Amino acid sequence: SEEKSLNFIEQIIEEDIANGTHGGRVLTRFPPEPNGYLHIGHAKSICLNFGLALKYNGQTNLRFDDTNPVTEDTEYVDSIKADIRWLGFEWANELYASDYFEQLYQFATKLIELGYAYVDDSTSEEIASMKGTPTEPGKESPYRARTAAENLALFADMRAGKFKDGEKVLRAKVDMASPNMHMRDPIIYRIRHAHHHRTGDTWCIYPMYDFAHGQSDSIEQITHSICTLEFIPHRALYDWFIEKLNIFPSHQYEFARLNMTYAVMSKRKLLQLVNENHVTGWDDPRMPTISGLRRRGYTPASIRQFCEKIGVAKRDNLIDISLLEFCIREELNKTANRVMAVLDPIKLVLTNYPEGEVEHMQVENNPEDPTAGSRSIPFSRSLWIEREDFMENPPKKFFRLGVGLSVRLKSAYIVTCTGFDKDADGNVTTVYATYLPESKSGTDNSGLTVKGTIHWVSEQHAATAEVRLYDRLFKVEDVGNAEGDFKDHINADSLHLIQNAYIEPSLLEAKEGERLQFMRKGYFVVDKDSTPGRPVFNRTVTLKDTWAK
């Protein structure tokens, strides 16, 4: 059938709707920790959470998971909001886990009263050493037997700032013999005398992820709380808190996180790349961040399309980055105007073309889009062509230039190479050719056909541009599982900078963010570093095929 089959989360939601669970209501959330910029892995989670809500007539909350005061920052909050909107999604409510600190404190107090939590004076080393192993049970803390009254007083003192960092923690009293290590009396509050980006110095105790996350879901009455597979062992605890507190029963579902070849997908590692200047910033076009992909020339639709194609799996896998490239190439093929730019120039002189004459060649903007129109490009006796389009000793089937060979200059004339000059080092400096006046594109009655077509820019009309060609940021496919430190695998040649490319004059008008196809060279976007008269272009992706077949 034409219908795409449902993924496993859609199946669950459709069953819930059919059974009237939560009144058939769907409320998802996207819960980023504001400790870095979003990356393509987050895009997968965003497309999933917002996509499900759209599909099932529900809503999605944006909740900042800001329970760790040390690593979080408002700069990240702002970038996250901008990136989600850019991807094309709008949240129902902008929420912060830190807004629930008082409520979470009350939940913790309730657990203490119920005998399900206690204050532990053990050091973190002692707690770790009593944790046991997956095959042998842990040991109960000597503080586990404290009375509720004693625990309530101590917890209040923790909040009041009477203790130093690490002096005490609040632990859930679950089961030190549980086969699930997360159930062995997990820490739910710790002391942190640190300034928080929103609550300032109001708090010196902060809830741990496991205590904050599920309860935040429950407070918001989230129906489907979707997270990545590594949280499977946390689910029992998620359910335990909800059951013991007798609060709204949100439910957690897990899917496989996105891993992509030649990329790292952890904010901690991405931050290292930024801080240690391996890249120019979070939005460096080589970064797998949303802001990096945007600056690279990716569109929101191409990223959404990628997320759609990779689907929702229950097992970890490694997605080939070429799938992402395929998605943007497909879109730009339909939408990007074709222009001419010569990246590695040599001069071509048409010896029989009148000196001083200028013609204006009509060029179709986009053969894939009949509504895109056309423009005119100046043509003259002296042109720039790509160095690789000429060979001194061309092999058979080289359908470009070499002495005696003919080629069509795109949207202009057929030319035949007659000779060339070399400098003292043996580098070709100028190629000479004659043109065939009756072969002009559109009015060609020369009767000749040639196999190759090459692009060009008129020397006297050319503008110059900086062009940045990017390669993979890493040399190995599976960076996450490669030996040694991930930074050992950084590709030192991931940026090829061209200071002076020659571009057709129309490109001086191109605006930041505009996407174009440089014929035969790939898709490019105008970078924010552009200045009037000197645009900067980033290559988004190469063309799949050149048309110089």
Q: Does residue number 227 form part of the binding site for ligand ATP (CB under 6 A)?
A: yes
CB of residue 323 vs ligand ATP: minimum separation in angstroms? Answer: 15
Number of residues that bind ligand ATP (CB under 6 A): 15
Could you tell me where the DSSP H helices lie in 178-281? Answer: 209-220, 235-245, 267-275
Which of residues 9, 16, 17, 45 is near ligand ATP by CB under 6 A? 45
Tell which positions 63-82 bind ligand ATP, by CB under 6 A: 65
34 is in an annotated binding site: yes
Q: For residue 419, what are the β-bridge partners? A: 432
Q: Which stretch binds Mg ion (CB under 5 A): 32-40, 80-88, 139-147, 284-292?
A: 32-40
Q: Which stretch binds Mg ion (CB under 5 A): 33-41, 120-128, 410-418, 420-428?
A: 33-41
382 is in an annotated binding site: no
Catalytic residue among 10, 33, 308, 359: 33
Q: Which stretch binds Mg ion (CB under 5 A): 27-35, 96-104, 480-488, 512-520?
A: 27-35
| Side chain identity at residue 418, one-letter code | T
**Residue in this structure with the two tokens 């980006």, named with its chain if needed:** 197
Distance, in Å, from the CA atom of 536 to the CA atom of 521, rounded to the nearest integer, reads 15
Confirm whether 396 is a catalytic residue: no
Distance, in Å, from the CA atom of 417 to the CA atom of 150, rounded to the nearest integer, reads 95
Q: Which residue of this chain has its Cβ atom nearest to ligand ATP in the complex?
A: 41
Confirm whether 257 is a catalytic residue: yes
At residue 171's C-alpha, the angle toward residues 166 and 175, to 5°, is 140
| Side chain identity at residue 430, one-letter code | T
Q: Does residue number 265 form part of the binding site for ligand ATP (CB under 6 A)?
A: yes
63 is in an annotated binding site: no
Q: Does residue number 451 form part of the binding site for ligand ATP (CB under 6 A)?
A: no
CA distances from 220 to 56, 97, 101, 342 (A): 18, 10, 14, 56
Q: Which stretch binds ligand ATP (CB under 6 A): 26-34, 143-151, 400-408, 497-505?
A: 26-34
DSSP state of 143: T
The interface partner of residue 257, options being ligand ATP, Mg ion, none and the CB cut-off 5 to 8 Å by kind, is ligand ATP
Element (H, E) at 42: helix 40-55
**In this structure, are residues 337 and 365 in contact, taking their beta carbons and an 8 Å threshold?**
yes
The widest CA-to-CA distance across the chain, in whole angstroms, is: 102
**In this structure, are residues 375 and 363 in contact, taking their beta carbons and an 8 Å threshold?**
yes
CB of residue 45 vs ligand ATP: minimum separation in angstroms? Answer: 4
232 is in an annotated binding site: no
521-539 in b/e form (b: 16+ CB < 10 A) is bbbbbbbeebeeeebbbbb
33 is in an annotated binding site: yes
**In this structure, are residues 174 and 186 in contact, taking their beta carbons and an 8 Å threshold?**
yes
Paired sense of beta strands 414-422 and 457-458, if any: unpaired
193 is in an annotated binding site: no
Q: Does residue number 237 form part of the binding site for ligand ATP (CB under 6 A)?
A: no
The interface partner of residue 175, options being ligand ATP, Mg ion, none and the CB cut-off 5 to 8 Å by kind, is none
39 is in an annotated binding site: yes
Q: In terms of CB distance, is 29 or 173 closer to ligand ATP? A: 29
Q: Which stretch binds ligand ATP (CB under 6 A): 36-44, 129-137, 140-148, 341-349?
A: 36-44
Catalytic residue among 139, 144, 192, 257: 257
Query: Given strand 515-518, what is the order of strands in its sheet?
Result: 337-339, 515-518, 522-526, 536-541, 463-470, 495-503, 341-342
Catalytic residue among 63, 244, 267, 286: 267
**Residue in this structure with the two tokens 């008269």, named with its chain if needed:** 533
Nearest one of 93, 238, 78 to 172, comparing CA atoms: 238
Report the SS3 class of residue 516.
strand
Confirm whether 294 is a catalytic residue: no
44 is in an annotated binding site: yes
Q: Does residue number 42 form part of the binding site for ligand ATP (CB under 6 A)?
A: yes
459 is in an annotated binding site: no
Phi, psi of 297 (to 5 degrees): 110, 0
Element (H, E) at 188: strand 187-191
First CA to last CA distance, the chain: 38
Which of residues 11, 266, 352, 546 is near ligand ATP by CB under 6 A? 266
Which of residues 146, 267, 381, 520 is near ligand ATP by CB under 6 A? 267
Q: In terms of CB distance, is 290 or 341 closer to ligand ATP? A: 290
Which of residues 7, 178, 180, 228 is near ligand ATP by CB under 6 A? 228
Please name the residues in contact with 156: beta carbons below 8 A apart, sequence gap of 6 or more: none
The interface partner of residue 199, options being ligand ATP, Mg ion, none and the CB cut-off 5 to 8 Å by kind, is none
Q: Which residues are catalytic?
A: 33, 257, 267
Per CB under 5 A, residues contacting Mg ion are 33
Per CB under 6 A, residues contacting ligand ATP are 31-33, 41-42, 44-45, 65, 227-228, 257-258, 265-267
- Binding-site annotation: residue ranges: 33-35, 39-45, 65, 209, 228, 257-258, 265-267
